[in-house]
A = this chain, B = another copy of it.
Amino acid sequence: MRASPKWIAVEWAATHVRVWAMGANNKVLAEVNRDYSTDGPDLAGLESALLGLISEWLTPEHATPVICCGMTRLKTPWRAVPCVPVDPHQLVRMPTQDARLDVRVIPGIMQRNPSDMMFGTETLIAGFLALRPGFDGVICLPGAHSRWVHISAREIVSFATYLTGELLALLAKRSSISPSIADNGLDNAAFDQAVATGLSHPASVSARLYSLHASVLNGDLDAVSARSTLSGLLIGQELGAARPYWLGQNVVVEGTVTETDMYVAALRTQGAEVERLASEVLALEGLKVAYEKEDVK
């Protein structure tokens, strides 16, 4: 791809980075995805990491605008709720050595009480609102960190972050009970029952973890059912804590990961009316919101 893009969009998420070369009328000229195991590059190495992805898209004739979201390690001034998810007039300029770059970062959003933060999710929300300008309700985004975001009048009113996916991964892959937990597979009955337990008896979750391991060792449970039970307990516990976000609310569960289906199933079992949205374009739509109104030349 030798034609110079008008601007470049960058989503630097916890486990992957995606870059898009954007042409006239926001046409995507080229795209690169790369997986990472760490949560983003060091700030010191950010410019060279960026150049490794996009240098062939740059021209020596002028600085190409680069709009980034995510970048959890970059200390930008945070914006505070309530606020619109992305404000194109509050992007943060990142100093660079390379004159071909003009990098702006979408700042993360913080909440004071209860303390919470997001770096990147605000851009997905902006993308969602670009597609659904009139939306009022709650978006749930499952994943390693699952987030519940209450939106009203185009602003993020409040949000809550849960480590559910990360806890599942730690217990399934790096703990003393890992040998009893399958890497994948789903036993629906075990999952449903565990969600109900996690919701109604949240304290019992900590008591059930080692018990799952013992059940597998003594032959009462298979490793797929153990994984399904573990997922269900953790998701049930999260749903219990996040109840104000879904009870009687207009809820959209957004995501493409396996967990998304599990959240939808669990919420429907609880009688919640839930819409399922699997979109690959939210990050890019959010980055467009930041660029289109931005006065970057």
B residues less than 8 Å from A160 (CB atoms): 207
CB A267 to nearest CB in B, in angstroms, measures 16
- Known contacts being A166-B175, A166-B176, is A206 close to B117, with CB within 8 Å? no
A163 touches B215 (CB 8 A): no
Interface assignment of A114: CB less than 8 Å from any CB of chain B: yes
What 0/1 pattern do residues 179 to 213 of A give for CB contact below 8 A with B?
Answer: 00000000000000000000000111111111111
- Known contacts being A116-B210, A161-B210, is A240 close to B203, with CB within 8 Å? yes
B residues less than 8 Å from A164 (CB atoms): 206
B residues less than 8 Å from A116 (CB atoms): 210-211, 214
B214 touches A163 (CB 8 A): no
Please classify how large the interface on chain A is, using the bins under 10, 10 to 19, 20 to 34, 35 or more: 35 or more
What 0/1 pattern do residues 85 to 122 of A give for CB contact below 8 A with B?
Answer: 00000000000000000000000001110111100000
CB A264 to nearest CB in B, in angstroms, measures 19
Q: Which of A163, A174, A215, A217 has the most CB of B within 10 A?
A: A163
- Known contacts being A206-B241, A241-B203, is A176 close to B144, with CB within 8 Å? yes
Closest to A243 in B: B203
B210 touches A163 (CB 8 A): yes
CB A160 to nearest CB in B, in angstroms, measures 6
Docked Cα-Cα span, A162 to B221, in Å, equals 19
B114 touches A206 (CB 8 A): no
Binding site for B on A (CB under 8 A): 14, 39, 78, 110-112, 114-117, 144-145, 160-164, 166-167, 170-171, 174-177, 202-215, 217-218, 220-221, 234, 237-238, 240-242
